[in-house]
């Protein structure tokens, strides 16, 4: 049994019910493969923001077909989306960091809270090498915002290790990676990157690096602060 398999088995045994929050990126497809291959009782959910690439959404059916497991899909509340669009405009996130984060709150953060309700632990595909803001990422932490354990079992993995695993196990992956993408989120907020750029340079490329988080991995205090949005 590999170290990753042992970690996931321990999470399943000691923190049930546990779930994988899958962004359908390479790391989360790797974790999905490991969970499904071991038959672990760990649920998998996806946040369908309504702005994802078609190539990303195709992976939901790929998971169901390849592994025979279900994927729970959580979408933003229509009333919140309609209000945002009416007040600020559909693509207002280009105008300011505050408006972009408000969009992320509606499309990601609030659905995440619903997905994690009544769970004891959630698993992510975060890695320390993805961004400076994740350099101190722990493999296990306590998420005070949702009052449950949070695991980042790939925290110490390199990008090369992730892709080696995917190749060796023939894990389905987003074909946008073959077009120069290295980190894939919502379509209007993601672009391919140059070889000289960082992994997450294509995410919210018009913003400063320190602001490039969507809000899924911040403290409860941080969420409260940025809930105040101005046009």
Q: What is the pLDDT of residues 136-186, one digit of tens each?
A: 999 999 999 999 999 999 999 999 999 999 999 999 999 999 999 999 999
The predicted model gives 193-208 an average pLDDT of 90
Q: Is the pLDDT of residue 13 over 50?
A: yes
What pLDDT is stored for residue 144 in this prediction? 94
As a whole-number percent, the residues of the chain with pLDDT over 70 amount to: 91
CATH superfamily for domain 3-225 = HUPs (3.40.50.620)
CA distances from 220 to 6, 143, 225 (A): 30, 9, 9
The pLDDT of residue 49 is above 50 = yes
Question: pLDDT exceeding 90 applies to what percent of the chain?
Answer: 82
Instruction: Name the phi and psi angles at 126, rounded to 5.
Output: -65, 145
Angle between helices 26-38 and 3-14 (to 10 degrees): 70
Q: In which band, very low, low, confident or very high, does the pLDDT at 215 lie, cut at 50, 70 and 90? A: low
Domain parsing of the chain, residue ranges: 3-225
Confidence (pLDDT) at 164: 98
| pLDDT tens per residue across span 55-112 | 999 999 999 999 999 999 999 999 999 999 999 999 999 999 999 999 999 999 999 9
The predicted pLDDT at position 200 comes to: 87
pLDDT given for residue 212 in this prediction: 61
Range name among 56-60, 129-133, 139-143, 194-198 with the lowest pLDDT average: 129-133
**DSSP tally for the chain: helices H, then strands E:** 8, 6
Please, what is the average pLDDT of the chain? 91
pLDDT over 50 at 226, yes or no: no
Q: Which positions ≥6 away from 168 have C-beta within 8 Å?
A: none
In this prediction, residue 230 carries a pLDDT of 32
* DSSP secondary structure of 76-139: --HHHHHHHHHHH-TTGGGT-HHHHHHHHIIIIIHHHHHHHTT-SEEE----GGG-GGGTT--S
79: left (phi over 0), alpha (psi -120 to 50) or beta: alpha
Q: Which residues are catalytic?
A: 214
Decide: helix, strand or coil at residue 186.
Answer: strand
């Amino acid at each position: 049994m590999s170290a990753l398999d042992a970690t996931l088995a321990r999470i399943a045994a000691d923190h049930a019910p546990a779930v994988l929050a899958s962004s359908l990126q390479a790391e989360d497809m790797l974790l999905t493969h490991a969970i499904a291959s071991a038959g672990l009782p760990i649920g998998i959910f996806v946040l369908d923001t309504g702005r994802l690439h078609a190539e990303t959404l195709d992976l939901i059916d790929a998971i169901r077909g390849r592994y025979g497991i279900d994927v729970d899909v959580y979408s933003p509340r229509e009333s919140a989306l309609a209000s945002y669009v009416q007040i600020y405009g559909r693509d207002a996130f280009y105008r300011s960091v505050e408006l972009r984060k408000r969009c992320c709150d509606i499309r990601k953060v609030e659905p995440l809270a619903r997905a994690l309700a009544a769970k004891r632990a959630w698993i992510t595909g975060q890695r320390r090498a993805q961004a400076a803001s994740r350099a101190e990422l722990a493999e296990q932490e306590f998420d005070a915002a949702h009052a449950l354990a949070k695991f980042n079992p790939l925290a110490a993995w390199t990008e090369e290790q992730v892709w080696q695993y995917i190749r060796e196990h023939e894990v389905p992956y987003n074909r946008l990676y073959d077009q120069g993408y290295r980190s894939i989120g919502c379509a209007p907020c993601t672009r391919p990157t140059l070889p000289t750029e960082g992994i997450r340079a294509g995410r919210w490329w018009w913003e400063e690096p320190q602001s490039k988080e969507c809000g899924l991995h911040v403290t409860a205090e941080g969420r409260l602060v940025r809930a105040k949005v101005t046009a």
